[in-house]
């Protein structure tokens, strides 16, 4: 195996040592070792920047993993519940809106989503009538705090007679 031209000639301790640019003596390597008082020391601002970068990456990673941890979205358990619809409304928050269903068993959300495999939220929501009883298949957990407001999603609806 060819390792380069430097392997063909013997090493000169003064010129071919990897740290020779920093000192002409082969024994000067200890001045840059990690135990040396002459080694590079980071400033406070460099520590702050490194901490900030780590914090941003950790936040992004947590946001990506939080649906799995909390069981929200399409990752939560699937349940079959018999409910009586008490209120149908649309929840507007900023630029998003969600179809919400208030029942005697709690609040549910009807939404399209690729994780849920649902693309007919309008049809499901329009089939619900206040005062009627339905057998609904839900997916996900209820998580409500100042940062997240997630409700179980209604996946399938059938009217109980």
Is CATH 2.40.50.50 what the domain over 78-159 is classified as, yes or no? yes
Q: What is the mean pLDDT of residues 11-23?
A: 52
CA proximity to 141, closest of 71, 83, 82: 71
Q: Where is pLDDT greater, at 131 or 93?
A: 131
Sequence-separated contacts (24+) of 118-127 with Cβ below 8 Å: 118/153, 118/155, 124/154, 124/156, 124/157, 125/88, 125/99, 125/101, 127/157
Residue ranges per domain, the chain? 5-70, 78-159
Mean pLDDT of 55-59: 95
pTM: 0.59
d(CA 47, CA 53): 10
* Residue 117: band (very low, low, confident or very high) from pLDDT cuts 50, 70, 90: confident
pLDDT tens profile 33-54: 566 566 667 788 989 999 999 9
pLDDT (0 to 100) of residue 93: 78
- The more confidently predicted of residues 66 and 78 is 78
What is the overall mean pLDDT for the chain? 79
């Amino acid at each position: 195996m060819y390792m380069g031209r430097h392997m063909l000639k013997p090493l000169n301790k003064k010129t071919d040592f990897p740290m020779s640019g920093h000192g002409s003596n082969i024994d000067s390597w200890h001045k840059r070792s990690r135990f040396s008082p002459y080694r590079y020391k980071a400033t406070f601002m460099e520590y702050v920047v490194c901490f900030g970068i780590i914090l941003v990456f950790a936040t992004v990673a947590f946001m990506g993993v939080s649906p799995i941890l909390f069981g929200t979205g399409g990752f939560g358990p699937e349940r079959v519940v018999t409910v009586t619809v008490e209120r149908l409304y649309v929840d507007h928050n900023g630029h998003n809106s969600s179809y919400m269903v208030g029942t005697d068993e709690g609040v549910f959300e009807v939404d399209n989503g690729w994780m849920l495999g649902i693309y007919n939220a309008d049809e499901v929501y329009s089939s619900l009538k206040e005062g009627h009883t339905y057998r609904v298949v839900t997916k996900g957990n209820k998580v409500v705090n100042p940062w997240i407001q997630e409700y179980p999603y209604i996946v399938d609806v059938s009217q109980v007679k």
